[in-house]
Amino acid sequence: MDVALLTNPAARAGAHTGAAMRTAERLRAAGMRVSVISGGSAEESSTLLRTALEVGVDAVVVAGGDGTVSLAIQELATTAVPLGIVPTGTGNDLATSLGIRDLDADGAADAVISGRTRTIDLARVTRADGSCVLYGTVLASGFDSKVNDRANRMTRPRGHTRYNIAILAEFVALRGTPFEVELDLDSGVAERIAGDLVMATVGNGRTYGGGIPICPDADLEDGLLDVTLVRPAGRLKLLRLLPRVYRGTHTSIEQVSTFRVRRVRLSSPGVTAYADGDPLGPLPLSVEVVPSALRVFSAQRVQ
């Protein structure tokens, strides 16, 4: 069995733990041939992975977070080549949804060695210029994406502190933003929502931001996407909402609406969408589910 092991040398968390090398050693000990791929940029990593797939590999393993996993998703979607994940990033939200967030290097390697796989859905984003990108976790637009925008503009402090400061700064300036949301519901009915929203999220998986269950009922294998919309309220009400978001109990609050859809179009001026930790581009964007698009190694047999 030939395995391509993709690592991200620029990853902030897990970059120096040696997890990738330990995974490679365990796979080799099981008789697999492992080629380690490590590009100096996302573009170079994608090119190297694409070349490895053209030459021919039986599996791809990613040691990194959601951003590095996303590079592999773009190349592996709708192919028969399965993906393994060594969750060494900051967020690891796809690993969370897959139930493998807590795997160490040995556990991740053992999942590949076992050969057990499952097939999951992905979400396809189509931008205004017609270009497309896939994601596995959650698309954020509104308050949460503005936090990412602000944090990316900041040069210091580093790490989670920068994001905490960005959250506080955006919360002080928090206000509703005009949105237009067009929903193709799972029932086959089309629905349009227009008005101010604090944020609009589209989940293939349940969590973003390192485990926040913003779409708590999302299922990676149901052929649907989960949309969570939050309408404006007083800052005190929204502040009280935050703990419930972290517990995944926010969907019963009157300011929150949820929908199960096959496709959704989001439009709002000046809002950038993020997914799998990376910016996708400004709204408007269309998002549709791609059922059974990706094979992944599973640590446990799915019943």
**What is the spatial distance between Cα 107 and Cα 102, in angstroms, rounded to a whole number?**
9
Two structure tokens written together for 193: 């929502």
| The pLDDT of residue 17 | 55
Q: Where are the beta strands (DSSP E) in 147-197?
A: 177-185, 190-197
Element (H, E) at 273: strand 272-275
- pLDDT digits 0-9 by tens, 39-61: 888 899 999 999 999 999 999 99
Residue keyed to tokens 């007083």 = 234
Residue scoring higher pLDDT (106 or 165) = 106
Question: Residues 6 or more apart from 41 whose CB is under 8 A from it?
Answer: 10
| The pLDDT of residue 210 | 80
**What is the spatial distance between Cα 136 and Cα 70, in angstroms, rounded to a whole number?**
7
Catalytic-residue membership of 278: yes
Structural domains of the chain, ranges and CATH numbers in brackets: 2-115 (3.40.50.10330), 126-291 (2.60.200.40)
Among the listed residues 65, 71, 66, 62, the one whose alpha carbon sits nearest the alpha carbon of residue 41: 71
Considering the chain, what is the average pLDDT of its residues? Answer: 89
Q: What are phi and psi of 249, to 5 degrees?
A: -110, 15
Residue 112 has pLDDT above 70, yes or no: yes
Q: Which range among 5-9, 23-27, 115-119, 133-137 shows the weakest confidence by mean pLDDT? A: 5-9
**What is the spatial distance between Cα 176 and Cα 92, in angstroms, rounded to a whole number?**
29
pLDDT band with cut points at 50, 70 and 90 for residue 301: very low
Burial per residue of 119-156, b for 16 or more beta-carbon CB atoms within 10 angstroms, e otherwise: ebbbbbbbbeeeeebbbbbbbbbbbbbbbbbbbeeeee
**What is the spatial distance between Cα 163 and Cα 158, in angstroms, rounded to a whole number?**
9
Burial per residue of 232-259, b for 16 or more beta-carbon CB atoms within 10 angstroms, e otherwise: bbeeeebeebeeebeeeebbebebbbbb
| The pLDDT of residue 235 | 77
Residue 170 has pLDDT above 80, yes or no: no
- pLDDT digits 0-9 by tens, 250-294: 999 999 999 999 999 999 998 999 999 789 999 999 999 999 999
Residue 13 has pLDDT above 60, yes or no: no
**What is the spatial distance between Cα 284 and Cα 182, in angstroms, rounded to a whole number?**
11
Contact between 160 and 224 under an 8 Å Cβ cutoff? The reply is: no
Q: Which range among 155-159, 218-222, 229-233 shows the weakest confidence by mean pLDDT? A: 155-159
Mean of the pLDDT values across residues 24-53?
93
**pTM over 0.85, yes/no:** yes
Catalytic residue, chosen from 104, 106, 110, 278, is 278
pLDDT band with cut points at 50, 70 and 90 for residue 224: very high
